[in-house]
């Protein structure tokens, strides 16, 4: 496995508020923090006491369910509450970033090559599928950098996230549950940003299995997340780790935890491209064995 990390900068952390610069986004961030995350955090101490201070590993049994008095897994609960779900999507859109593409040669080379084909004569039917891509902000960033990919991108998310979106020029928008069979077969890249840290390992393996079944030999999965060292993690990552456990039974993963997860998935780890060495934000590239 090759390790690449060319970019070193101190730009934002995924869940920092440094990109929340206007009042509308501030309102949505507050709503997300107070109305969505707040009840879960308030229940966290009693939840831990009741469960014997164990790791939170079941998406349907977290402080979120206790705080919101529901049996529904968090995303199902949010999807039924447009004001909270919209707050989540608005905050995710506000903290979009194109940093991950910088120095990722495997993506750059393929994007340039795909840009020389047409939708009628493609190398692959679709170049880039943003799996769980929210309102499409990352697809927009890819198109900004590679305009020739117009028409070759797909945005997928839950129906509640995408069905009322305005059409996106150059991007096919579709409802897709990533726990179900993947509708787009044989794409060049399946991109997952801040998806895996929302889920415990067993759920991540199901997501990867569905993508693996859709891939051919030169398809790749790109996981855009933090890849932490065993010690001395940035405080932001530690806070996100606690937050993911509390809301979703998710977690931030160390390099060893990613390697173990990928090994269990049956996929091959091709490369870890660390694009921010202070925050450990990285793209993990996977292919079929
Ligand atoms: C933390 S957000 C990340 C959004 C986006 N990838 C980003 O980085 O900004 C998680 C996303 O996963 C979506 N999601 C949750 N469960 C899903 C499922 N079963 N199938 C597809 N998308 C799902 C949510 O609607 C949300 O847009």
Q: Which residues contact 281 (CB under 8 A, 6 or more apart)?
A: 13, 14, 99, 100, 224, 225, 226, 274, 275
Predicted ipTM of the assembly: 0.99
What tokens appear for 254 in the block? Answer: 């160390």
CA distance 152 to 157: 17
Q: Is the CB of residue 200 less than 8 Å from the CB of residue 120?
A: no
Q: For residues 206-210, give the mean pLDDT.
A: 98
CB of 250 within 6 A of ligand 1: the answer is no
What tokens appear for 248 in the block? Answer: 């979703």
Q: Which domains does the chain have, with CATH numbers?
A: 17-94 (no CATH), 105-287 (3.40.50.150)
CA distance 48 to 46: 5
Q: What pLDDT score was predicted for residue 6? A: 40
Structure confidence by residue, pLDDT tens digits, 65-122: 999 999 999 999 999 999 899 889 988 888 889 999 999 999 999 999 988 877 677 7
CA distance 129 to 51: 39
CB of 199 within 6 A of ligand 1: the answer is no
Q: What pLDDT score was predicted for residue 2? A: 52
Atom of ligand 1 nearest to the CA of 177: 20
The residue length of the chain stands at: 289
Extended strands (E) in the chain: 2-4, 128-131, 153-157, 171-175, 189-193, 220-228, 253-254, 267-276, 281-288
Q: How far is the CA of 131 from the centre of ligand 1 (A)?
A: 7
Alpha-carbon Rg for the chain, nearest whole angstrom, is 18
Q: Is the CB of residue 209 less than 8 Å from the CB of residue 262?
A: no
Structure confidence by residue, pLDDT tens digits, 147-159: 999 999 999 999 9
Q: How far is the CA of 191 from the centre of ligand 1 (A)?
A: 12
Structure confidence by residue, pLDDT tens digits, 28-67: 677 777 888 999 999 999 999 999 999 999 999 999 999 9
Q: How far is the CA of 132 from the centre of ligand 1 (A)?
A: 4
pTM check: above 0.95: no
Active site residue 273: no
């Amino acid at each position: 496995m090759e390790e690449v990390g060319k970019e070193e900068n101190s730009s934002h952390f995924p869940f920092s508020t440094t990109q929340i610069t206007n009042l509308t986004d501030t309102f949505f961030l507050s709503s997300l923090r107070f109305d969505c995350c707040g009840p879960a955090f308030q229940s966290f101490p009693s939840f831990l006491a009741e469960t014997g201070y164990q790791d939170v590993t079941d998406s349907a049994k977290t402080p979120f369910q206790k705080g919101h008095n529901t049996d529904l897994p968090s995303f199902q609960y949010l999807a039924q509450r447009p004001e909270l779900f919209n707050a989540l999507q608005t905050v995710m859109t506000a903290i979009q970033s194109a940093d991950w593409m910088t120095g990722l040669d495997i993506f750059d080379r393929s994007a340039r090559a795909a840009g020389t084909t047409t939708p009628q004569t493609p190398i692959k039917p679709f170049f880039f599928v943003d799996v769980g891509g929210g309102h499409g902000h990352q697809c927009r960033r890819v198109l900004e950098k590679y305009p020739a990919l117009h028409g070759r991108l797909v945005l997928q998310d839950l129906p509640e996230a995408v069905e009322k979106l305005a059409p996106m020029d150059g991007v096919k928008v579709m409802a897709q549950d990533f726990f179900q069979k993947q509708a787009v077969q044989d794409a060049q890249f399946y991109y997952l940003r801040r998806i895996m840290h929302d889920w415990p390992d067993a759920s991540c393996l199901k997501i990867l299995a569905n993508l693996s079944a859709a891939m051919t030999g030169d398809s790749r999965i790109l996981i855009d997340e933090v890849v932490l060292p065993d010690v001395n993690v940035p405080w932001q990552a530690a806070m996100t780790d606690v937050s993911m456990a509390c809301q979703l039974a998710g977690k931030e993963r160390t390099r060893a935890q990613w390697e173990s997860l990928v090994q269990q998935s049956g996929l091959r780890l091709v490369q870890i491209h660390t694009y921010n060495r202070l925050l450990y934000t990285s793209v993990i590239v996977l292919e079929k064995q």
